Amino acid sequence: MMRMRTINVLLFISILTFFISCNSDSYEEHEIGDNLIDQTTDVSLVDTFSIESSTVIMDSVITSGYTSATLGRYDDEYLGDVKSEYYGVLSLNGAFNRSSIDGSVEDVPIRFDSLVFIAYPSGEYYGDTLQTQRVIINRINEDIELPDNEFSFFGHSSFTYDSEPLLDAEFELNPIKQSEYNADIDAHKEDYYGEYFGEGIFIKMESAEAIALGEDIVEKVNEQSDSVTESIQWQKYMKGIVIRPGDNNSVMFRVPLADNRLKLRLYYSDTDYTDAGKQKFHDFPISSSGNNESLSFMNYSSDRSGTPQQLDRLVAQDVELASEETDDLAFIQGGIGMFTKLRIPHIENLNTLGLTGGILGAELVMYPKDNSFDDEMFFLPKEGNGTLRGGHILYTTNISLYNTNENNKFNSALISSSANSNLTMTYVENQANEDESYYSADVTSFVNDVLINGQEYDDALLIGLPVETIGNNFERLIVENDLESDFRIRLRVTYVIQR
């Protein structure tokens, strides 16, 4: 039987090019010329497979080792209250640039001025940027160390921190404008007269705790303490900070770590010498390389108790909620780690085509729920400007497909049949009717593999954001699968029968 199935697939690969060249939206009987194959051939489309969908959640999402930080909170009518607390290890970033008297080795003492929080968003965000946001920064009071035999932190990892914050302030977030980074302006290459004139988020830390920290650092500089001259000792002194959102924040956004774009800045001035009184500064950026690169991470939390679909029932990875239990919806979410699970139990019935039938193509189609997204707050997952093709705009996405089993473990990623890379979905935007836009993936190889090798009852697909990047991703997608609707999840299989 295995040999017969293999012959069946190989036979019709030889005529695949011909049928693709037809490029027709309708499927009808085609007569093949004698010079190709001496038979009448029917090309048909079937999309009536019963597809079972559900939602699962990952037990552990790796959130450390990324080149950017996810900050903030948003409230989602489908996914609940979602927030990220960022635990960051601060780099000493070299020694203070202190003046000398008459070229001697004696350093001029410095005087503390202020401590400032600076962040340059990447421009990527999720939620409502029109509301006033709140940022809270606390000093971590225990050593940040990886657990034994672990190489990463996860979305549930955390460390204790001081109860009194270094900063608790409101600010206006404009993630596009504030993403404009100019190294010269950031470094005050022009004269500085006490007012910051660059873009970015710039908040003076005026709490008693922040002032005490700044003064203590300056005192250690004046004493030439190894706490501010040696990185290892600095790490023991300043273990790190946690950046938290307020309970009423309405947006989650990303900040790159390159070029020291997320940092605390200490302003100071000399007490003597020709530069006395002139403002200077020293930056303590979040470590993005070296030994401490993997010690900064996001802690995600999600209060799903008030969601209409009662998604708080997702408590472990081996638990799944069938779409019939969640208003015929399935969910994908970054950070928290939700995936849509699909089973196609009767796909092997295609083998009833026998020796004279073969699969030309198989397309998996999923529709986002109407009104679950918009262009202002909750964007659909898609990338770039798209490619126009026949009244549709095709966008690449990073939504990936994985083989899984009854325990919802990630067995392997599906591979694209056209490229030696992981298979991802395409967003097909219908310009005439947006409601008919959908996500699509060419799963021909997957279907052929099932027809050749069969499948176990618990074999299934997990669909969601890439496992390797989901820990620093806040995209989400609400998938519709009402079996009575035209917008249910579909498997469209094009096959050929020779008579």
Position with higher pLDDT, 28 vs 450: 450
Supply the pLDDT for residue 16: 40
Contacts of 199 (CB under 8 A, 6+ apart): 120, 177, 178, 179, 180, 181, 182, 185
Least confident of 87-96, 196-205, 433-442: 196-205
Contacts of 86 (CB under 8 A, 6+ apart): 69, 70, 71, 242, 243, 244, 296, 297, 298, 299
- At residue 14 the predicted structure's pLDDT band, cuts being 50, 70 and 90, is very low
> What is the pLDDT averaged over residues 87-92?
96
Position with higher pLDDT, 72 vs 185: 72
Q: How far apart are CA 441 and CA 170, in angstroms?
A: 43
> What is the pLDDT averaged over residues 250-263?
96
- At residue 96 the predicted structure's pLDDT band, cuts being 50, 70 and 90, is confident
- At residue 49 the predicted structure's pLDDT band, cuts being 50, 70 and 90, is confident
> What is the pLDDT averaged over residues 381-408?
94
Supply the pLDDT for residue 356: 58
Instruction: Flag whether pLDDT at 216 surpasses 70.
Output: yes
Position with higher pLDDT, 192 vs 332: 332
Nearest to 201 by CA among 121, 320, 85: 121
Residue 403's identity, in one-letter code, is N
For the stretch 401-442, pLDDT in tens is 999 999 999 999 999 877 678 999 999 999 888 889 999 999
Supply the pLDDT for residue 497: 75
- Report domain extents, the chain: 2-58+316-498, 68-303
Supply the pLDDT for residue 21: 36
Q: How far apart are CA 101 and CA 146, in angstroms?
A: 45
Instruction: Flag whether pLDDT at 9 surpasses 70.
Output: no
> What is the pLDDT averaged over residues 89-116?
82
Position with higher pLDDT, 28 vs 346: 346
Supply the pLDDT for residue 36: 39
Percent of the chain with pLDDT over 90: 66
Least confident of 158-167, 334-343, 369-378: 369-378
> What is the pLDDT averaged over residues 101-111?
73
> What is the pLDDT averaged over residues 215-242?
95
Supply the pLDDT for residue 95: 82
- Cα-Cα-Cα-Cα dihedral of 376, 380, 382, 388, to 10°? -80
Chain-centroid distance of CA 244 in Å reads 19
> What is the pLDDT averaged over residues 126-139?
96
Instruction: Flag whether pLDDT at 147 surpasses 90.
Output: no
Supply the pLDDT for residue 346: 84
Average pLDDT across the chain, whole number: 86
Supply the pLDDT for residue 479: 97
Instruction: Flag whether pLDDT at 186 surpasses 90.
Output: no
Supply the pLDDT for residue 273: 67
Tokens representing 427?
């967003």
Position with higher pLDDT, 9 vs 264: 264
Supply the pLDDT for residue 198: 62
- At residue 34 the predicted structure's pLDDT band, cuts being 50, 70 and 90, is very low
Tokens representing 193?
């007269």
Q: How far apart are CA 205 and CA 187, in angstroms?
A: 19
For the stretch 271-291, pLDDT in tens is 876 666 778 899 999 987 767
Instruction: Flag whether pLDDT at 352 surpasses 90.
Output: no
Furthest C-alpha separation in the chain: 99
Instruction: Flag whether pLDDT at 236 surpasses 60.
Output: yes
Supply the pLDDT for residue 458: 86
Most confident range, picked from 151-155, 159-163, 343-347, 385-389: 159-163
Supply the pLDDT for residue 275: 65
Helix, strand, coil % over all residues of the chain, rounded to 5: 20, 40, 45
Q: How far apart are CA 84 and CA 245, in angstroms?
A: 7
